[in-house]
Amino acid sequence: MTRIVHSTLCKVFAVVLVIIGIGATIGGNFDHGYVTDQLSQEKITMPSGKALTSPEMKDALDKYAGQQMTTGPQAEAFANHFIYEHMKAASNGRTYQEVSGDYMKCSADEATKNTDECKKLESIRATLFQGDSLRGMLLNAYGWWLIGTIAIWAGVACIVLGVVLAILGWGVLRTKKDVVQA
């Protein structure tokens, strides 16, 4: 009796896992395609040569040099190793929040409101805001690419497990009753 139950459960779970696996794989491929389409529309060319000013930039971006950005890993590398490095250089390592706080103090004081220092802080603040915005968008694309990758691998794992269960259910655990009925 337990062999029949195990065989039936294997068959049911095999079908369910294969269906889930196919759905996850299709979803992950859709996700990759969507991210690729959106990044391709922006026509961002990955930096190369003299634009890679630090060893960290070269290590992270050399493999993509001159290519059009179309994948999540490219977006992540560009955001973290090109945009972020330029943001740190422009602000001497200060964050948007720090620069913005200094700008707000400077612009609130009538004596310093129109000074070169206040205008410089305003410019750095705008640069950091734009950099943070672009980084956030690119890292979002990377995050969705990563979710798609996880879905693809989880889908493949479900399909493999479903096939193993199918072999067990329709093969190894098959009862004599199943053989006679077939």
The string of pLDDT tens digits covering residues 77-98 is 999 999 999 999 999 999 999 9
The rounded distance, in Å, linking the Cα atoms of 156 and 20 is 10
| pLDDT score of 175 | 62
Place of tokens 């943001």: 87
| pLDDT score of 1 | 58
Place of tokens 């590398």: 77
| pLDDT score of 177 | 61
At residue 107 the predicted structure's pLDDT band, cuts being 50, 70 and 90, is confident
Average pLDDT value for the chain: 92
Does position 66 have pLDDT exceeding 90, yes or no?
yes
Please name the amino acid found at residue 133: S
**What separation in angstroms does the CA of 20 have from each of 15, 52, 77, 128, 171?**
9, 44, 32, 43, 22
Please name the amino acid found at residue 69: M
The token duo for 87 is 């943001």
Query: In the chain, how many H helices and how many E strands?
Result: 7, 0
At residue 114 the predicted structure's pLDDT band, cuts being 50, 70 and 90, is confident
CA 175 to the chain's CA centroid:
47
| pLDDT score of 174 | 72
Residue 2 in 3-state DSSP? helix
pLDDT in tens, 122-171: 999 999 999 999 999 999 999 999 999 999 999 999 999 999 999 998 88
